[in-house]
A and B are shown apart, each in its own frame.
Chain A
Amino acid sequence: MTKNIGKLSATAFTQLVLALFTLISMFPIVLIIINAFKSRDGIFDNPMALPTSETFSLVGFHKVLDKSPFLHFFENSLIVTVGSLVLILLFAAMAAWALSEYKFKGSRWLAVYLAFGIMVPIRLGTVSILQLAVQFNLVNTLTILVLVYVAQGLPLAIMILSEFMQQIPKELKEAARCDGVGEFKIFFQIILPLIRPAVATVAVFTMVPIWNDLWFPLILAPGEETQTVTLGVQQFIGQYVTDWNAVLASLSLAVAPVLLMYIFASRQLIRGITAGAVK
């Protein structure tokens, strides 16, 4: 009996800690969203209050969507994020497959070299990257952002994916080879479907920092045409006056795609797909 109570209180404690943590991490997001729907006076009178019929206002969204090129920023962000994501996932999966499946001369050194990319923050190379971008005439283009993000995302993605690929039973590939399936078909039709959960995990991990990044857009593509959402939000923040309605509304909007992506991917994360492959 006492044992049960002990167990129960331990569970309760765990839940309490988790709940507290959730509260802390959710607080700023909730704060942003509730204030995005309030008038300026509403925000400053009581930032914690929910929007009431008096304070409710969509003026922030109005400003963001109608009076600024916000949709264009959004489009830029989407292009950069999706483009980088697709390239990272494709190349990382292929590299991971090559490193885990084929043993060739120098494959170990190549793996070490790629792992090195995880340890060295890419921002240390910002100056050189900018110089390169200038030389190749890529400043103020979305291409340079995609290139940088692909370089930034690849090492970790390769590591996670090759970890998963090593878990795919050897017999599956051998069965496919006995069936006369070519190596490319093995990769695209057998290996990739099997590591879908891993790909989803990597996609989420890779996407969030890219979407939220301010550093590289600020340095490499600050032009009006190529601004991303995070950079675009800055225009509402002035040295003397900040348009809080617009800032909060645009931030709320910026959260949406990440949230959608997460909901979509998390269903994949949960699925254990290899069940039934081998005994």
Chain B
Amino acid sequence: MAQVSLKNLKKSYDGKQDVLASINLEIDDGEFVVLVGPSGCGKSTLLRMLSGLEEITSGDLVIDNVRCNDLAPAKRGIAMVFQSYALYPHMNVYKNMAFGLKIHGAGKEEIDRRIKHAAGILKIDHLLHRLPRELSGGQRQRVAIGRAIVREPKLFLFDEPLSNLDAALRVQTRLEIAKLHRDLKATIVYVTHDQVEAMTLGDKIVVMHDGHIQQAGTPLELYQQPANLFVAGFIGSPKMNLIEGVVADAGASGVSVTLAGGQVLRTEVDGSSLKAGDRVTVGIRSEHLWENSNGSEQFTGTVNLVEHLGEANFLYITLSNGQDVVVRGDGEREVAIGDTVSLSAPAASFHVFNHDGKALRRLKPGNMVAAKRVA
């Protein structure tokens, strides 16, 4: 169990361009932190710097009040689970888990106790004498996690552990990792590019892009109050609809935005930093655009494409002002391509981003879907 803090952590290769620029992050004891971002954003590099497999160019990595920059991986008290599992192919499951312990000179009985314990948690007791090649993907993943558990590390590092599993197994393993975190009360840093994994697993999500932390916060914070356009686009599926506009009137209690067609949209965000004439981007999530007139702001548009998910459908709509949006509609309502639909959204559901892409504070985040049900 550990408290980890990253202070001004930097990584650059050959002193050239920074791959990671000044990462600051505090990880509390027992926290499940998810690093998420598109490929190439530096999240895996950051994890490898935590593990000690990648050198830290500058800054401080402190685990439990000990500066760990130059410590070898094993000395940091970490255990890593790799995307490809990385089991030793010539050793059976038991030996795979015992190898690291034996190196550290743990006694035979101690090793046995720890392995039995971990195997019990992961339900792999019956596999202990098999070789990795005789296991399925999911089982290998468990063994890899087991190998981390037996070391009783201060910090668990997961590098995209679910990407090699099929969809059904991924959901199941995701639940198991969440349960494991609860049972072990372990501190975990978890890297993924999948925002669903990030949302479901993380106590804290760290969204990364181009070597910078874009935003760190709880899943709901990120969803309701994305700090900038990148986070707004990255968290949530389908992507948030983004509409360009010009500020007509701005104040601390709301901002009115003129859209392309001349329509003026009222949004409930803190616009005290804006003035009339500023270019802004308005964001609205697909589930906050309703196919009814309960909301205060009204649109009409033509359906281009319908995706049926069963419980919902995604309507790809071109609004009357030429803007394309995605709407999450009622799955049981029949909508045909070419239909004209009228849409509405409550003023409180809009996000507004200034010309730098920074979000303005929403005055009443949350409870939008509930509002729809009531209405």
Contact = CB atoms under 8 A, between A and B. Distances in A.
B73 to A, nearest CB: 5
A276 B86 contact: no
Contacts of A182: 103
Nearest to A171: B86
B151 interface: yes
Interface string B106-132: 000000000000000000000000011
B90 A174 contact: no
A185 interface: yes
Question: Chain A CB within 10 Å — which of B74, B89, B132, B134 has the most?
Answer: B89
A167 to B, nearest CB: 12
A258 B90 CA distance: 28
Interface stretch (B34-42, B76-84, B274-282, B310-318): B76-84
A174 B135 contact: no
A251 B172 CA distance: 66
Nearest to A278: B84
A8 B53 CA distance: 55
Interface string A254-279: 00000000000000000001111111
Interface in B143-168: 147, 151, 164
Contacts of A274: 89
Given A276-B132, A279-B137, A279-B164, A178 B88 contact: no
Given A169-B84, A278-B84, A178 B89 contact: no
A219 B178 CA distance: 73
Contacts of A185: 103
Given A171-B84, A175-B80, A178-B79, A273 B74 contact: no
Question: Chain B CB within 10 Å — which of A175, A177, A180, A277 has the most?
Answer: A175
Given A178-B53, A276-B133, A171 B82 contact: yes
A131 B64 CA distance: 65
A181 interface: yes
A179 interface: yes
How many B residues are at the interface, by size bracket? 20 to 34
B251 interface: no
A179 B100 contact: yes
Given A177-B53, A278-B85, A194 B90 contact: yes
Nearest to A192: B90
A66 to B, nearest CB: 47
Given A174-B80, A275-B133, A276-B132, A181 B86 contact: no
B73 A177 contact: yes
Question: Chain A CB within 10 Å — which of B78, B88, B99 has the most?
Answer: B88
A175 B86 contact: yes
A269 to B, nearest CB: 17
Interface string A154-187: 0000000000000001011011111111100100
B138 to A, nearest CB: 11
Contacts of B135: 276
Contacts of B74: 177-181
Interface string B94-106: 0000011001100
B86 A169 contact: yes
A190 interface: yes
Contacts of B73: 177-178, 180
B227 interface: no
Contacts of B103: 179-182, 185
A209 interface: no
Contacts of B90: 193-194, 273
Contacts of B88: 172, 175-176, 190, 277
B84 A174 contact: no
B100 A181 contact: yes
Nearest to B78: A178
Contacts of B85: 171, 278-279
A279 B86 CA distance: 8
A180 B133 CA distance: 24
B89 A276 contact: yes
A50 to B, nearest CB: 46
B87 interface: yes
B72 interface: yes
A175 B79 CA distance: 9
B249 to A, nearest CB: 57
Nearest to A179: B100
A80 B79 CA distance: 47
Contacts of B140: 276, 279
18 contacts: A171-B84, A171-B85, A172-B89, A174-B80, A175-B86, A180-B72, A180-B100, A180-B103, A181-B74, A190-B88, A274-B89, A276-B131, A276-B134, A276-B135, A277-B89, A278-B82, A279-B85, A279-B140
Interface of B: 51-53, 72-75, 78-80, 82-90, 99-100, 103-104, 131-135, 137, 140, 147, 151, 164
For the complex of A and B, the 5 pairs showing the least CB-CB separation, nearest first, are A276-B133, A180-B74, A179-B100, A278-B84, A171-B86
Given A169-B86, A171-B82, A176-B99, 17 more contacts: A174-B51, A174-B80, A175-B88, A175-B147, A176-B88, A177-B52, A178-B78, A179-B147, A180-B72, A180-B74, A181-B99, A190-B88, A273-B89, A273-B90, A275-B133, A276-B135, A277-B87
